[in-house]
Amino acid sequence: MTSTFHRPRLVPRLIATAAAGSLLALGLTGCGGATKTSTDAAASSAAAGSGASADPNAPTKKGLTVAFLPKQVNNPYFTTSDGGGKTALTALGETYKDVGTTSATDTAGQVSYVNTLTQQQVSAIAVSAQDPGALCTALKQAMSSGVKVVTYDSDTNTDCRQLFISQAGAEALGRSEVDLLGKELNYSGQIAILSAAQTATNQNTWIGFMEDELKKPQFANMKLVKIAYGNDDAQTSFQQTQGLLQQYPNLKGIISPTTVGIKAAAQYLDGSQYKGKVLLTGLGTPNDMRAYVQDGTVQAFELWNPAKLGELAAYAAVALASGQISGAQGQTFTAGSLGTFTIGAQGVVTLGQPTVFDKSNIGQFDF
């Protein structure tokens, strides 16, 4: 496919930080003592470009621009995650840029942004994919023109990026949400899932593990009756919740693995006859969910720290753009105060474990 310049529909939100010379000394200084050989660099990995050689002791390049392209720019979750990216890039004296669509289902818009960033020859793109396949051609063009590509939060196909910065193990996330709801419901009753976009890689992966978890004998009396899609839009998610309750009056629980969805579902339940009767869990931010936990609409839910996810994506992008890593399994890089990370199979780097929030701890978190 030829490279076509598409003008983004939105004016990019540009929050650039100029390189501050004195801060550069704080930058990456190699890989925390890891000794990597060219054989390591060529180690097997499905990630595109990972066969390229890497030098863990290469200096951090100066004057890099890393562009964040979230699923959706007006989503507080991404404001926080990308803010973490900005923090990291500012600390390194590099330039941060943030562009994206207001809708989480504007796949064509997201592709346009990738093309524009490629034209602009940014050093690296950190993207949360709205749709795994749709971005591939554009991301491959970006990589072949020298732009490094990191996905974070929501992945594309493994050959369409160099690294995926994963928030937490997808399997543990999916299974634990079912386990949380199962305990709350005494393992009995109809349940539904309120997801984000139908194409979202992250939600679909988690849902796959939820469905698998539900096959275990202890869930024999819990039945998943519907997966609804709120498209990470507050109003659609609210209406979908209402629709679920109308269609399934005996519904006992909802899992919403999206910060927008769980907030809208909590809002709906809170103002309805179902408050405290239909239980809700999933992935939300403590700030969005605090009131609903305190008033008993929601007992427990999960999330990782989105700011740390963005920070890690930024450090990974800078390490790639500096040639310290190439994306091959086993390579390591340092991510400031987050520590040293090792690239796993298929170019996946995992931030850590999610936190379960409930009445006992929600007061301690502010994001």
Distance CA 302, CA 288 (A): 12
Which contiguous run of DSSP H or E holds residue 348? Answer: strand 348-350
Report DSSP letters for 159-215, one per residue: GG-SEEEESS-HHHHHHHHHHHHHHHTTT-EEEEEEES-TT-HHHHHHHHHHHHHTT
Minimum separation from the CB atom of position 119 to ligand RAM (A): 26
Minimum separation from the CB atom of position 64 to ligand RAM (A): 25
Per CB under 6 A, 179 contacts ligand RAM = no
213 or 232: CB nearest ligand RAM? 232
Q: Which of residues 263-322 bind ligand RAM (CB under 6 A)?
A: 283
Per CB under 6 A, 75 contacts ligand RAM = yes
Cβ-based neighbour number of residue 205 at 10 Å: 19
Residue from the set 196, 254, 255, 298 that interacts with ligand RAM by CB under 6 A: 196
Per CB under 6 A, 114 contacts ligand RAM = no
Distance CA 41, CA 11 (A): 39
342 neighbors 330 (Cβ within 8 angstroms): yes
82 or 232: CB nearest ligand RAM? 232
Collapsed DSSP state (helix, strand, coil) of residue 39: helix
Per CB under 6 A, 153 contacts ligand RAM = yes
Q: How many residues can be counted in the chain? A: 367
Per CB under 6 A, 177 contacts ligand RAM = no
Distance CA 328, CA 330 (A): 6
Distance CA 163, CA 188 (A): 40
Segment interacting with ligand RAM, rule: CB under 6 A, options 29-37, 195-203, 318-326, 351-359: 195-203
65 or 72: CB nearest ligand RAM? 72
In degrees rounded to 5, what are phi and psi of residue 212? -70, -40
Q: Which residue is nearest to ligand RAM (CB)?
A: 77
Q: Give the residue from 227, 224, 228, 202 showing the smallest Cα distance to 215.
A: 224
12 neighbors 125 (Cβ within 8 angstroms): no
Residue from the set 258, 299, 305, 350 that interacts with ligand RAM by CB under 6 A: 258
Residue from the set 232, 233, 288, 302 that interacts with ligand RAM by CB under 6 A: 232
153 or 179: CB nearest ligand RAM? 153
Binding map of ligand RAM across residues 116-145, x = CB under 6 A, - = no contact:
------------x-----------------
The DSSP symbol for 345 reads G
Per CB under 6 A, 260 contacts ligand RAM = yes
Minimum separation from the CB atom of position 221 to ligand RAM (A): 28
The burial of 333, by beta-carbon neighbours within 10 Å (0-12 exposed, 13-18 middle, 19 or more buried), is given as: buried
Per CB under 6 A, 106 contacts ligand RAM = no
Q: Which of residues 320-349 bind ligand RAM (CB under 6 A)?
A: none
Interface residues with ligand RAM (CB under 6 A)?
Answer: 71, 75, 77, 128, 153-154, 196, 200, 202, 232, 258-260, 283
